[in-house]
Amino acid sequence: MQRPKILALPAHFKTLLTQISHISGPLLIRGTCAAAKDSCTTGTFQDIVDTDLAYQWNCVGAAGQESCNLTKTTITVAPTTVTAPSTTPTPSLAVSTIKILVVLLNFQDSPSEPFSKEQAEALIFGGQVQKFYQEQSYGKAMLGGNVSGWHTLSREGDPGGTCMYPNAGEAEIQDFIINSGIDPSNYRHLLLVYNHPCMTMSSGAGIQQLQIKGVSYQLSQLGVSARTYLNSYRYPFSWTEFDDMVAHELGHGLGLNHAMLWGCDAGSTFDVGKNCGEEGRNQFDLMGHGAAALHFNAIFKEFLNWFDSSSLLTIVSSGRYTLSPYESSSGFRAAKIKVPGREIYPVYLEYRQPLGFDASLNNPLYVSNTRGLLVNWKAVVEETIGLITSRYISNLLDFSPQSGFGDLNDSNKASLDVSQRFTVPGSGITIGPVISADASGITFDVVLENTPCLRSLLDNSRFTS
Ligand SMILES: [Zn+2]
């Protein structure tokens, strides 16, 4: 993963101007920055050299000057991916089946098989992974498919003895599928499961496409061995390493990126130029770190068509709003907020409760998050990968940074709480305060104000896969 760049205001570039002589009289003004690039609320604009990351300028008044700074990257939202608010109810979506062909693969130096084909069918299509997808899609998706194998590839899994990611290459997989007579044409996803100790913990390469006879498939690969695949993870429900890998890699295969976390130095609030940035993965999302909760965040669920107009609240005006618990089966389970005057929805809200696959939120480490809002900021990356035309980067905002930038553990407490308000920089959106929160839902205020110029919440130039 690329190390995040830290955006910090250069503290020293205010000295580029020589001192201005004061003019006597009562109307001496101090230069102050406006939100838009190269503009001043008061004083005279004076340009200085921009950096790679930011526009820089000064606003000079007779009583003093201010150094101004605006991150160059703006939130990019492709118009085609934005759903405008509509008064026409969206019809409920039918349950869609995620059609997967699981291929079990040995190498010539593989140990004995960790499970049979029938056991694999039960683990993937009849176990916790199936329940997880049905629960978090609110019954809109289920897994369907078949298992093929065990097959044996015509080489050793670790020919060099280094145990360094010896997964099969694309051409090797294509040749194998074609030559072995496997017909994947009824499926959209191929999940390759390797039996080899060198790949026991590998869980990469989820987002791929594979061309076979002119058809694109989403490809996920993972390694297992008898040693670890049934180890239970630390959740208060059955959830093995195998469940974790399969569910996570399928998420990639559906077009999801990793769910990320944004934090700041302790005491800082989110804004351009502050010591804020990507700190790691979201602990409240299986596509992130997943320690505190497993449901995918609302940005991802919307992308997967798991919401409709009765479950995703679209906030387009100031007011007081109520969300049901994110894991419940009725009511508004998430909200997205529109920037006044723009078809952009930069933030999504969730009210998480310790229910179902989010039950770990009862852990004392995380329980305080169940009384506030989780806020994810959305960046859009336009890409076409196989059958997937775009993917989103979700960034959970940590509203209680406890330690220095870069410490993932301080996101154990991330929610926006009763006493807090958050203004999305430059957007005119203010969230909070929370009015009430209990087992049935959360009520909070939102204020929307027109703003002359949208500027980016945070630098979104990084893209982690
Ligand atoms: Zn991943």
Instruction: Give the model's pLDDT for residue 24.
Output: 32
The answer on pLDDT for 326 being more than 60 is: yes
CA 194 to ligand 1 center in whole angstroms: 17
The answer on pLDDT for 454 being more than 70 is: no
The CATH class of 96-253 is: alpha beta
Contact (CB, 8 A) for 375 and 326: no
CA 259 to ligand 1 center in whole angstroms: 9
Nearest to 83 by CA among 332, 314, 347, 254: 314
The answer on pLDDT for 78 being more than 60 is: no
The arithmetic mean of pLDDT across residues 31-46, rounded, is 79
CA 203 to ligand 1 center in whole angstroms: 7
CA 204 to ligand 1 center in whole angstroms: 6
CA 127 to ligand 1 center in whole angstroms: 21
CA 393 to ligand 1 center in whole angstroms: 13
Instruction: Give the model's pLDDT for residue 58.
Output: 81
CA 2 to ligand 1 center in whole angstroms: 14
Helices and strands in the chain, H and E counts: 5, 21
| Residue predicted with more confidence, 302 or 265 | 302
**pLDDT band with cut points at 50, 70 and 90 for residue 3:** very low
CA 248 to ligand 1 center in whole angstroms: 6
CA torsion through residues 127, 133, 134, 140, sign: negative
In the chain, domain spans: 13-71, 96-253, 257-448
CA 254 to ligand 1 center in whole angstroms: 12
**pLDDT band with cut points at 50, 70 and 90 for residue 418:** confident
What is the value of pTM for the model shown? 0.75
Question: Lowest-pLDDT range, 91-105, 166-180, 331-345, 383-397?
Answer: 383-397
Query: In the Cβ-directed half-sphere of 410, how many Cα atoms lie within 13 Å?
Result: 19
Token digits for 216? 């694109």
Mean of pLDDT over the chain? 78
Residue type, position 192, single letter: L
For the segment 227-252, what is each residue's pLDDT rounded down to a tens digit? 667 778 889 999 998 899 899 989 88
Give the 3-state secondary structure of residue 76: coil
| Residue predicted with more confidence, 170 or 357 | 357
| Residue predicted with more confidence, 242 or 34 | 242
CA 33 to ligand 1 center in whole angstroms: 41
CA 135 to ligand 1 center in whole angstroms: 21
| Residue predicted with more confidence, 123 or 201 | 123
Instruction: Give the model's pLDDT for residue 223.
Output: 84
